[in-house]
Amino acid sequence: MRLLQTLADILARNKLSSDPSTQLFGPFNSRFQRRWRKPTVNARTRLEGRTLDTKLDKLLINLVKLKAILSLEHLMSTRKRGPFTSVQLMSRWRSIVGINVSIGAFIHKYPHIFKVFNHPIQRNLCCRITGEMKGLLEDEERAVRMLELDSVRKIKKLLMMSVNGQLHIHALRLIQRELGLPSDFRESILAKYSGDFRLVNLEIVELVDRDEELGVAVIEKWRENEFTEKWLSEYETRYAFPISFPTGFIIGRGMREKMKNWQRLPYVKPYERKEAVRVRTCGGLERFEKHAVGIIHELLCLTVEKLVEVERLAHFRKDFAMEVNIRELILKHPGIFYISIKGSSQVVFLREAYSRGCLVEPNPIYVVRRRMLELISMGCRNTRALSASKETQEKKLECRGHEGVSARDGDWVLPILESAKDRSLER
């Protein structure tokens, strides 16, 4: 009786559910089978399931803070009343800068960058940039001006990678800080070096003549090093890329063989003449994607900090003939690139250029920006010690000013020598 009752309950449930996929499995509905569906693999699933790199994520968090601080400094510098701004006025810039907390709480977090004081006449709370931060900003601008010829070389290499030797100035303007270009690069570089660049119109720049000496990718040095020092064959290194997976990355079954075949796959290099790649041929899609990987790799090598926002890379798709989903392409190669989503945008890093969150081969602009990040990471630490040391230095300068002439180095040696001479005479 109990068996019949359970069978009756199963039949009643099956009658209520009209969808075959929702029916329970039993002796009277065994003809319905659930079809196995292959899990979808796209850019979203790859982004959610990627192995995290905590060092690069932490670096990006500090870079986002530095970006907000530089935006505040730019807005403060545009004020004509003086080198300071009232905190009440700065509170209106919160949406422009992109800060989630209040301006007052934000500037109090970084006393090494912002100096808060009361206005002597109006008695309201004001803020200005500290001398240390101003010095770093001047050092950065000086380094950018010093590397002017390097900026010319970078723009020429980007134009040589394009299909017809032309680029949109708007695309260059979006990554001018990443490339280390001056803010007025249109006048100071493009118009100044008219023998190298030609302005087709207001928004397009063209390369006058190709320089074949610059047509060598940065990765070719690594390939030559692998060939000469590690005694690897040319077949293994001619089209290979350096791969380093993050800690905790799991290499799946058959992945090593796929990577080995992909490393050996020939492709059109970034500075070679563009040829029509038939995608429908055998290996055509893989070669087309590897060509796009080579262009992104070379562009990241030309940047100061070997990183750039993914959305800004999309502005180079037509100029570089990269008609692919750039984010999905980057996520397919976690050993070459790393996407961090800390902040409001997605930033791609070149993995081989970093070691423990620091650049392997630093440059003058990166060194200055790294010192800015150190001020951010200090937070509220050592503020009392710094203020005390500044007060003591000021007091010493005042005392020396009252005395007129300061004591010279080496004056204390004369009494010691005279005492030693007297002792020798007494003996």
The CA distance from 386 to 394, in Å, is: 12
- What is the per-residue pLDDT across 217-241, written as a single tens digit (0 to 9) for each? 999 989 988 888 877 788 888 899 9
Q: How many residues does the chain have?
A: 427
Q: What is the pLDDT of residue 13?
A: 61
Query: Which pTM was predicted?
Result: 0.78
**C-alpha closest to that of 98 among 73, 64, 58, 61:** 64
The CA distance from 112 to 386, in Å, is: 9
- What is the per-residue pLDDT across 85-98, written as a single tens digit (0 to 9) for each? 888 888 899 888 88
User: Can you tell me which residue has the tokens 């931060």?
Assistant: 133
Question: Which of 420 and 413 is assigned the larger pLDDT?
Answer: 420
Q: What is the pLDDT of residue 394?
A: 46
Given phi > 0 = left and psi -120 to 50 = alpha, else beta, which region is 115? Answer: beta
The tokens for 180 are 């280390």
Query: What is the 8-class DSSP label of residue 253?
Result: T
The CA distance from 205 to 198, in Å, is: 6
pLDDT band at 411 (very low <50, low <70, confident <90, very high): very low
Q: What is the pLDDT of residue 114?
A: 92
The CA distance from 289 to 322, in Å, is: 8
- What is the per-residue pLDDT across 50-92, written as a single tens digit (0 to 9) for each? 888 899 999 999 999 999 999 999 999 888 777 888 888 888 9
**Long-range contacts made by residues 201-209, C-beta under 8 angstroms, separation at least 24?**
202/169, 203/168, 203/169, 203/170, 204/166, 204/167, 204/168, 204/169, 205/155, 205/159, 205/166, 205/167, 205/169, 205/172, 206/159, 206/165, 206/166, 207/156, 207/159, 207/160, 207/165, 207/166
Distances (CA, A) of 156 to 83, 149, 180, 185, 189: 38, 11, 14, 13, 11
Mean pLDDT score across all residues of the chain: 81
Torsion angle of the four alpha carbons 157, 160, 165, 170, in this order, in degrees rounded to the nearest 10: -30
Torsion angle of the four alpha carbons 141, 147, 149, 152, in this order, in degrees rounded to the nearest 10: -60
Question: Which of 137 and 14 is assigned the larger pLDDT?
Answer: 137
Hey, which residues does 125 pair with through a beta bridge? 118
Do 190 and 197 form a contact (C-beta atoms < 8 A)?
yes
Q: What is the pLDDT of residue 336?
A: 94
User: Can you tell me which residue has the tokens 């807005």?
Assistant: 75
Q: What percent of the chain lies above the pLDDT cut of 70?
A: 78
Hey, which residues does 84 pair with through a beta bridge? 128
The CA distance from 234 to 305, in Å, is: 30
The CA distance from 310 to 266, in Å, is: 26
Continuous segment of H or E residues that includes residue 118: strand 114-118
Query: What is the 8-class DSSP label of residue 214?
Result: G
Question: Which of 247 and 157 is assigned the larger pLDDT?
Answer: 157
Q: Does residue 353 surpass a pLDDT of 60?
A: yes
Q: What percent of the chain lies above the pLDDT cut of 90?
A: 45
- What is the per-residue pLDDT across 23-54, written as a single tens digit (0 to 9) for each? 555 555 555 556 656 677 777 777 777 888 89
pLDDT band at 343 (very low <50, low <70, confident <90, very high): confident
Helical ranges in 17-147 per DSSP H: 43-48, 54-77, 87-90, 94-97, 103-109, 131-146
Indicate the range of 261-270, 325-334, 403-412 predicted with least confidence. Answer: 403-412
Q: What is the pLDDT of residue 248?
A: 86
Question: Which of 425 and 10 is assigned the larger pLDDT?
Answer: 10
